Chain A
Amino acid sequence: MSASVRPVQLFRNLNAKIAAIPMILTALVIFVGCSFWTIFYSFTNSKLLPKLKFVGIDQYERLWASNRWLISIENLAIYGFCTLVFSLLIGFLLAALLDQKIRFENTFRSILLYPFALSFIVTGLVWQWVLNPQFGIQKIVRDLGFESFTFDPLYNPDIVIYGVLIAGLWQGTGLIMCLMLAGIRGIDQEIWKAARIDGIKTWKTYVFIVIPMMRPIFITSLVIIASQIVRVYDLVVAQTGGGPGIASEVPAKYVYDFLFLNQNLGQGFAASTMMLVTVAIVIVPWAYLEFGRRKHG
């Protein structure tokens, strides 16, 4: 063979490019294309079918005037805030307990994590049953003689979202605990030796040394929890169906109902666009801090 021929740029690594076609299609058509399509059509008055009749921000005005949407947002805020705080807190405390060189660590971990294997549907239905006032805790306490005792979170519009929260935490804290445990274990063991020689108390070591060193794990957990919160849908559908009334509605359910049940596509698109905006508010600053800073550093 004589001097080799410069290969055509397009055909270099051709196999790799062919292999990447599904990824390229997904990225462009689904993630970029479909998202923009939805945002685009959120400015139309599409009802049963998507129509290109633009109505400006009408859909958004209607959305923010809707009581149901406001309740959805409020519920999401309460549920989100509590989930964040309690998942991180409980997850870390449980991880710290499991980290004490205890016996049966695997058994305990298996028990605390198994709910995570269950779907939100199963979780919701189980807790719908456990929190049932007719046969559950309320009945037991009343049978003991406290006739006026009430514990019916799923039937009380004021606290129903906390009923959902109990179920959500039961399902999800195991995961956070596992992440935290991995984070604690990932810390250089010599830190512990140094702390011991310096005579620092265990809890102080956790609070002042371990937690600051686990910043990346906390951020990762935060992002995971946050991105799951926004999507919370199955749990509410299974546990309360949005009720009583509309007391436990969430944005994801609002979107689904308007797209597939109420045949009011424009309203659904507007609501889902608002969800996207919410996620962006959480993710963009994080991405900026995580990746933007690294580039300059």
Chain B
Amino acid sequence: MADGTLSPAPGAAAEPLREPRGPKPRKRFSRRNIFIYGTLIFVSAYYLLPLYVMVATSLKGMPEIRIGNIFAPPLEITFQPWVKAWSEACTGLNCDGLSRGFWNSVRITVPSVLISIVVASINGYALANWRFKGADIFFTILIVGAFIPYQVMIYPIVIVLREIGLYGSVWGLVIVHTIFGMPILTLLFRNYFTSIPEELFRAARVDGAGFWGIYFKIMLPMALPIFVVAIILQVTGIWNDFLFGVIYTKPDTYPMTVQLNNIVNSVQGVKEYNVNMAATILTGLVPLVIYFVSGKLFVRGIAEGAVKG
């Protein structure tokens, strides 16, 4: 249609077709859309199912669980299992519920997150901006080391912690978390600081700021987003840890995950599935809340964190 006007040819006038004009009409229920949304809704339902089962079970009484199936919604809602899971459930001789594990986990997570992030951020900054001789070698070892199975290193670390008198204590575990969080966090911070234009660092040096001056006054204020990402990454990771908790702490300092496993998988007594599920939700609650509150930052955190496992 070189002339630009779309007048229908004389013979075709009978055709009732509207000539194309304005936005192209779209079908809301095209086959493509039904397929895409249908699949996504089905998959989402599958992913949500365990969460639903957990919540539903935790709100049922034991008699109801025995007669029904796990997918049935609770008929009589009871919060008794939650109370029991939090304050009465037994592990071994202790019968003060998950609350002990919760507070242990808080006592472990807070210092571990703080120390590991402080150490790694300074480390990453030193690596990004103050490349000194040999730094690359240690950094390479650190990153390669991240791939070594923990099982190879756990026993010698027990010996080291025993030698310095921290085996079995919360602080021993804090050190372990700082060590094993270091590769990924250092990488995270190093990459972030490397992405800050080097000219900024140079300008600060011409302005007479030193190592700590540049870190605190220039880099730190600019790195707040990455600190949030690191905090999310670490809180979730450390809260969810099981292996280090079970190895490096003692029963009365066990973190929540270890205690949860001991409650649910203990062989003595009658299985109280509702209490078990309430305890499971309680343990998963902290990372879940962080996940839903932080949203995009969490995604960014794991995406960046995952780049090197």
Q: Note whether A and B form a binding pair.
A: yes
State the A residues within 8 Å of B (CB): 9, 12-13, 15-17, 19-20, 22-24, 26-35, 37-39, 50, 94, 97-98, 100, 102, 106, 108-122, 125-130, 132, 135-136, 139-140, 143, 170, 174-175, 178-179, 182, 220, 223-224, 227-228, 230-231, 233-234, 237-238, 241, 251-252, 255-256, 259-260, 265, 268-269, 271-273, 275-276, 279, 283, 287
B34 at the A interface (CB under 8 A): no
The smallest beta-carbon distance between A146 and chain B, in angstroms, is 14
Q: Which residue of chain A has its CB nearest to the CB of B135?
A: A20
What chain A residues lie within 8 Å of B36 (beta carbons)?
Answer: 97, 100, 102
A112 & B287 in contact (Cβ 8 Å cutoff): no
Q: Which residue of chain B has its CB nearest to the CB of A230?
A: B149
B186 at the A interface (CB under 8 A): yes
Bound-state Cα–Cα, A235 to B39, Å:
28
What chain B residues lie within 8 Å of A28 (beta carbons)?
Answer: 138, 141
B277 at the A interface (CB under 8 A): yes
B194 at the A interface (CB under 8 A): no
Q: Give the interface centre of A19, A108, A252, A260 by most chain B CB atoms within 10 Å.
A: A19
Q: Which residue of chain B has its CB nearest to the CB of A280?
A: B147
Q: Which residue of chain B has its CB nearest to the CB of A121?
A: B257
Question: A-B pairs with the 10 shortest C-beta distances?
Answer: A31-B145, A119-B240, A15-B211, A16-B130, A117-B291, A34-B156, A27-B141, A34-B153, A272-B151, A255-B151
What chain A residues lie within 8 Å of B298 (beta carbons)?
Answer: 117
Choose one: B127, B178, B212, B307; the contact of A20 (CB below 8 Å): B127
B44 at the A interface (CB under 8 A): yes
Main secondary structure of the interface of B (DSSP, over half): helix
Given contacts A20-B127, A35-B148, A227-B147, 11 further A-B contacts (CB under 8 A): A28-B138, A28-B141, A34-B152, A38-B155, A117-B288, A118-B240, A126-B50, A126-B54, A136-B69, A178-B302, A234-B257
The smallest beta-carbon distance between A30 and chain B, in angstroms, is 5
Give me 23 A-to-B residue pairs in the complex whose CB atoms sit less than 8 angstroms apart, sorted by A's number: A15-B126, A15-B210, A16-B130, A17-B126, A19-B123, A20-B135, A23-B127, A23-B138, A29-B160, A34-B153, A34-B157, A94-B40, A119-B257, A120-B242, A122-B240, A129-B276, A129-B277, A130-B70, A136-B71, A224-B306, A227-B309, A230-B149, A234-B242
What chain A residues lie within 8 Å of B57 (beta carbons)?
Answer: 129
A19 & B260 in contact (Cβ 8 Å cutoff): no
Q: A19-B211, A116-B302, A228-B309 are in contact. Are A279 and B291 (CB under 8 A)?
A: no
What chain B residues lie within 8 Å of A30 (beta carbons)?
Answer: 145, 153, 157, 179
B29 at the A interface (CB under 8 A): no
